Amino acid sequence: MCRASWLYRWLTAEPDPEVVVIDLRETRIVGPIIAVLDIVLGLLADGWRQARSGRLFVRATAALRARPIQIASGVALVAAVANLCIAVALTTATTSAIGGTLIVAALALAGTRVTVSWETLADSRSAAVVIALLEPPEPPEAPRDTADRNAGIEAERREE
């Protein structure tokens, strides 16, 4: 799924032959900074893999991928109940606020019964609609080289 994303394709695409590519690792100013960052981030990554928090994060990510709606609903349910308790304890709760919080809690409680995985959600029709709505439009066709661009400009001048 990651390899089909626009960002992955953009990062791994072959460079345009007209584009000049500069390897910043070979420059005098940025090269040493990148080398230091590479060493430091490598050590941090090794430590992260061995740390309890790193293992906990990996397990939490796996659980979230297995049942995202159920986990998000559980978090929303806890937040709604906590909000309701705090509002009642501080005597700032209005009838509409309590009603709204109870509706959110009921919806979150219903969501805890959903056991759909992230992959199933990503392949669903709803996800396709959301992706189609949020995806940027294709860029307009641009002339490939300067000769085509100049020919287009000349043609526009003649039409005027």
Domain assignment present for residue 156? The answer is no
**Does residue 147 sit within a domain?**
no
pLDDT at 53 (0 to 100) = 86
Residues whose CB falls within 8 Å of the CB of residue 73, separated by 6 or more in sequence, listed in order: 107, 108, 109, 110, 111, 112, 114
Section 150-158 average pLDDT: 62
Domain region containing 47: 28-131
Q: Tell whether 15 is covered by a domain.
A: no
Tell whether 138 is covered by a domain. Answer: no
C-alpha span between 2 and 8 (Å, rounded): 7
| Whether the Cβ atoms of residue 65 and residue 118 lie closer than 8 Å to each other | yes
Confidence of residue 154 (pLDDT cuts 50, 70, 90): low
User: How many domains, the chain?
Assistant: 1
Please report the beta strands in 3-143, taking only residues with DSSP state E, as ranges in sequence order: none
The chain-wide mean pLDDT, for the chain, equals: 83
What end-to-end distance do the CA atoms of the chain give, in Å?
A: 50
Q: Give mean pLDDT, residues 114-125.
A: 91
Residue 111 forms part of a structural domain: yes
Q: What was the pLDDT predicted at 62? A: 93
Q: Determine, yes or no, domain membership for 1.
A: no
